[in-house]
Chains A and B, each alone.
Chain A
């Protein structure tokens, strides 16, 4: 929240990356965040939190590739941020998103202390697009698997985000599940849909998937998870949270289905540019809210940003279309702005994966209804 009880900040400690993934939505630069720059950013974030009586901050550290800054930089950052926040009576938590290519045991201490011995990384299956510069996807897979194995041997909880591609649809949900859960032993992962964000290239031009096929894949994967993984604590997003939702339990749905991104999070990159999220901050200059190093007050920057206003207005404008008639409006609110923009070049359309989302919502709702009939009863108890 930008002005509620909790502030979510996506912080790109560097805009640089050690990978060269064909479909990356970031148009990378070589900029890295200096420690002094970090102090300015966090100082202004804490000022904003004080002004809006926000008590808690979560910093989602990303890049570029976040591990291109050394572990000692993060240890120093962690100590300083915790002190600065405590002085002002604020709580801070940290999350790390990394490709893990630069991981070594030197990271273990800071991962334990700063990130609660947990991190999130990414791998696709089959891997078609993730590469180290000059090498092929197989090399990337081997390197990534080795690093993940090392981290897990060190006791680190490794979560994985997987972006689906045409190859995934061809191997099918069964093989996909086996690869992650049985071959790699990953028990907490999330499936994401691709979008052609950032500078155009041939891969991005061919990134779109048949949405009906994608919907079928999602529903099949959800069924496999429900039958084989769910009761053994395997977590697959977004199925796990959709199950919580339809069982009337607290659910933390992915940001693509948030009521209004503009109220929920923002990103700052290594140059101090501020935007809606990491998908926007480097690659879409026209949609930046401003620069945190150049402003006197983050609150003012957010209040006066015409770009941010467009994000705030998006769900309101979508209500003029057919979203208002959708059975699952409460779950989706028109979907993800960047997935929309990268396809339609407009914020004011609904998410191009609408059909997938509706199919998945309906499928999960029916599956949950089979095992739980207590939702209506809970209303009057």
Chain B
């Protein structure tokens, strides 16, 4: 599943009930009921659809198996420690769709990541501001992502960061995590527009599209830890929200591992490229 949302216009993450009011705009449509998605999304809606999001671990997803084949599906696993084994029930969706499991980084989340990867699902970690006890688990997940040959699907945000570091491309963690208001907005059940992800409870403000830029400027102006951080460019203060005094030591360790892996990868690729003269 592509994690890069279209940059030309804002994508609205809406409940299915609000579909009528948002038709024609770039959308992510969420629902607890696969059959309702199939029933209400028209052929003409599909062109504007980034993906559909399944909430509440629906018990029967057969309706989606042959519907809009190739359409990405995001499955929300709100309680990974308790519900991870149920991922087996969703594996058949992979026959015809890219499927990503989105889950919070919380106690015992690693089993869900392990099983999701083992079943060939992509994963998106709602990483937030992980406490030290979870940093160690994240480091293990990252190590699996980087080195375990049975992990073949992306685990975000690691995958996009690695890709960006390796190719020396500009990356934006807020965008990778689909939390940059310049790219994505959430719409609640009543049709009210909200900021995405962790920002949803924040004040909407007059210029939500400049939120990340403004936030970076504030952190710089305040002389926060970010000022000297080598990862400020990709992070843009992501880990300083909402608790500005969050200690980034742990996440910096993860980012350092990613950066080192990217350097090694870049060297390996250069050494094995046809121009290098090296034997494969």
Q: Are B92 and A365 neighbours in the complex by a CB distance under 8 Å? A: no
* Distance between Cα atoms of A369 and B118 in the complex (Å): 20
Task: Say which residue of A248, A260, A324, A327 sits within 8 Å of B111 (CB atoms).
Answer: A324
**Is A374 at the interface (CB under 8 A from chain B)?**
yes
Q: From B51-59, B129-137, B161-169, B238-246, give the one contacting chain A.
A: B161-169
Q: Give 1 or 0 for each of B80-100: 1 = CB within 8 Å of chain A CB.
A: 000011101101100110000
Within the complex, the shortest CB–CB distance from B265 to chain A, in Å, comes to 6
Q: Are B149 and A319 neighbours in the complex by a CB distance under 8 Å? A: no
Q: Are B148 and A327 neighbours in the complex by a CB distance under 8 Å? A: yes
Within the complex, the shortest CB–CB distance from B75 to chain A, in Å, comes to 16
Q: Are A376 and B268 neighbours in the complex by a CB distance under 8 Å? A: yes
- A:241-258 near B, CB below 8 Å: 246, 248
* Distance between Cα atoms of A242 and B88 in the complex (Å): 22
Contacts of A52 on B, CB cut-off 8 Å? Answer: 62, 65-66
Q: Are A259 and B114 neighbours in the complex by a CB distance under 8 Å? A: no
Within the complex, the shortest CB–CB distance from A64 to chain B, in Å, comes to 31
Q: Are B84 and A259 neighbours in the complex by a CB distance under 8 Å? A: no
Q: Are A331 and B150 neighbours in the complex by a CB distance under 8 Å? A: yes
Q: Are A4 and B95 neighbours in the complex by a CB distance under 8 Å? A: yes
Contacts of A377 on B, CB cut-off 8 Å? Answer: 265, 268-269, 272
Task: Say which residue of A5, A330, A376 sits within 8 Å of B265 (CB atoms).
Answer: A376
Contacts of A330 on B, CB cut-off 8 Å? Answer: 117-120, 150-151
**Is B152 at the interface (CB under 8 A from chain A)?**
yes
Q: Give the nearest-CB partner of B96 in chain A.
A: A5
**Is A82 at the interface (CB under 8 A from chain B)?**
no
Task: Say which residue of A1, A4, A365 sits within 8 Å of B149 (CB atoms).
Answer: A365
**Is A320 at the interface (CB under 8 A from chain B)?**
yes
Chain B interface residue number, banded: 35 or more
**Is B41 at the interface (CB under 8 A from chain A)?**
no
* Distance between Cα atoms of A255 and B115 in the complex (Å): 19
**Is B17 at the interface (CB under 8 A from chain A)?**
no
Contacts of B114 on A, CB cut-off 8 Å? Answer: 324, 329
- A:326-342 near B, CB below 8 Å: 327-331, 333
Q: Are B88 and A316 neighbours in the complex by a CB distance under 8 Å? A: yes
- B:234-280 near A, CB below 8 Å: 265, 268-269, 272, 280
**Is A370 at the interface (CB under 8 A from chain B)?**
no
* Distance between Cα atoms of A329 and B111 in the complex (Å): 11
Q: Give 1 or 0 for each of B196-232: 1 = CB within 8 Å of chain A CB.
A: 0000000000000000000000000000000000000
Q: Are B167 and A380 neighbours in the complex by a CB distance under 8 Å? A: yes
Contacts of B95 on A, CB cut-off 8 Å? Answer: 1, 4-5
Contacts of B269 on A, CB cut-off 8 Å? Answer: 377, 380-381
**Is B127 at the interface (CB under 8 A from chain A)?**
no
**Is B46 at the interface (CB under 8 A from chain A)?**
no
Q: Give the nearest-CB partner of A4 in chain B.
A: B95
* Distance between Cα atoms of A263 and B111 in the complex (Å): 23
Q: Give 1 or 0 for each of A356-374: 1 = CB within 8 Å of chain B CB.
A: 0000000001000100011
Task: Say which residue of A320, A369, A379 sits within 8 Å of B85 (CB atoms).
Answer: A320
Within the complex, the shortest CB–CB distance from B108 to chain A, in Å, comes to 10
- B:101-139 near A, CB below 8 Å: 111, 114-115, 117-120
Q: Give the nearest-CB partner of A369 in chain B.
A: B149
Within the complex, the shortest CB–CB distance from B277 to chain A, in Å, comes to 17
**Is B146 at the interface (CB under 8 A from chain A)?**
yes
Within the complex, the shortest CB–CB distance from B176 to chain A, in Å, comes to 15
Within the complex, the shortest CB–CB distance from B128 to chain A, in Å, comes to 24
Contacts of B272 on A, CB cut-off 8 Å? Answer: 373-374, 377
Q: Are A4 and B117 neighbours in the complex by a CB distance under 8 Å? A: no
Contacts of B268 on A, CB cut-off 8 Å? Answer: 373, 376-377
Given contacts A373-B268, A377-B268, A381-B269, contact A328 B150 (CB under 8 A): yes
Within the complex, the shortest CB–CB distance from B17 to chain A, in Å, comes to 28
Contacts of A329 on B, CB cut-off 8 Å? Answer: 114-115, 118, 150
Q: Are A316 and B86 neighbours in the complex by a CB distance under 8 Å? A: yes
Q: Give the nearest-CB partner of A54 in chain B.
A: B66
Given contacts A327-B148, A329-B114, A376-B146, contact A3 B88 (CB under 8 A): no
**Is A208 at the interface (CB under 8 A from chain B)?**
no
Q: Are B85 and A4 neighbours in the complex by a CB distance under 8 Å? A: no
Within the complex, the shortest CB–CB distance from B31 to chain A, in Å, comes to 21
Within the complex, the shortest CB–CB distance from B266 to chain A, in Å, comes to 9
Contacts of A373 on B, CB cut-off 8 Å? Answer: 268, 272
Q: Give the nearest-CB partner of B112 in chain A.
A: A324
* Distance between Cα atoms of A373 and B62 in the complex (Å): 39
Q: Give the nearest-CB partner of B117 in chain A.
A: A330
* Distance between Cα atoms of A317 and B88 in the complex (Å): 10
**Is A53 at the interface (CB under 8 A from chain B)?**
yes
14 of the cross-chain contacts (CB-CB < 8 Å) are A1-B95, A52-B65, A248-B149, A248-B152, A260-B88, A319-B85, A319-B115, A324-B115, A330-B119, A330-B150, A365-B149, A374-B280, A376-B146, A380-B166
- Report B's interface with A, CB cutoff 8 A: 62, 65-66, 84-86, 88-89, 91-92, 95-96, 111, 114-115, 117-120, 146-152, 159, 162-163, 166-167, 265, 268-269, 272, 280
7 closest cross-chain pairs (CB), A and B: A330-B118, A330-B150, A319-B85, A4-B95, A53-B66, A329-B118, A316-B85
Known: A3-B62, A4-B92, A330-B119. 4 other contacts (CB 8 A): A315-B88, A316-B86, A374-B272, A380-B162
